[in-house]
Homo-oligomer: A and B are copies of this chain.
Amino acid sequence: MNSKKHAADEPLITFARFLEARGLRMTRDRRVIIEQVFEVHAHFTMDDLFVALRLKGERLSKTTLYRNLPLLVESGLIRRVPGESSDGRFEHVLGHPHHDHLICLECGREIEFTCTDLEAAQDNICRRHGFHPVWHRLGIWGYCRRCRSRRPATQSAPATSCVAASRKKER
């Protein structure tokens, strides 16, 4: 068990350092949390994490998660996912360098992408405003190829219907 190399090894060290600097302790529970967080390459909620840990047989309480995730955020290992209706969602930072999303209003699928043109345009804007960007998030809502071919009518949905349609997604 100790011999297996985990994706969590690096974050573990980072976090240990962070804790030490604040006079906090690296506990078993914290190790377990980090392992889980870095094992999964996806957004997660407090509850997702809780359930995943339970399924593994770990019995940490939710309180412990609620107390420790903010520390992980502070340490820079994870971040809250900003944006409408992604409240309470987290993602880890390491090995998840950057991505934006296309979100289908019909099937809910999220397509990740990156685009250098986009980044360039953003840099321009920031420069123009004397703004030092640290992190950004772009979401484009619409209809994916699959859904469009199934239901061509949605191809030219007006803006208002978009707002209405997106409602479905509010948790």
- Of the candidates B73, B133, B139, the one whose C-beta lies within 8 Å of that of A167 is B73
Tell me which residues across on chain B come within 8 A of A141, comparing CB atoms: 82, 133-137
Interface residue? A1 (CB, 8 A)? no
Chain A residues with a Cβ closer than 8 Å to the other chain, count = 59
Within 8 A of B (CB), among A136-171: 136-145, 148, 154-167
- Whether A136 and B140, one on each chain, are in contact in the complex, defined by CB atoms closer than 8 angstroms, is yes
Whether A80 and B74, one on each chain, are in contact in the complex, defined by CB atoms closer than 8 angstroms, is no
Identify which of A23-31, A40-48, A60-68, A113-121 touches chain B. Answer: A113-121
Q: Which one, B74, B133, B145, B166, contacts A135 given CB within 8 A?
A: B166
Residue of B nearest to A115 (CB): B125
Cα-based distance from A155 to B131 in the complex (angstroms): 9
Most buried by B among A76, A87, A136, A161: A136
- Checking B102, B111, B132, B139 against A83 with a beta-carbon cut-off of 8 angstroms, the contacting residue is B139
For A135, the chain B residues whose CB sits under 8 A away are 140-142, 159, 162-163, 166
- Determine whether A51 belongs to the interface, using a CB cutoff of 8 Å to chain B: no
In the complex, per-residue mask of A89-124: 1 if CB is within 8 Å of any chain B CB, else 0: 000010000000010110000010101011011101
Q: Check B82–A111 contact: CB distance below 8 A.
A: no
A residues in contact (CB < 8 Å) with B: 70, 73-76, 79-80, 82-85, 87, 93, 102, 104-105, 111, 113, 115, 117-118, 120-122, 124-126, 129-145, 148, 154-167
A–B Cβ pairs within 8 angstroms, 9 of them:
A75-B163, A83-B137, A84-B137, A102-B133, A105-B134, A115-B121, A117-B121, A129-B144, A137-B139
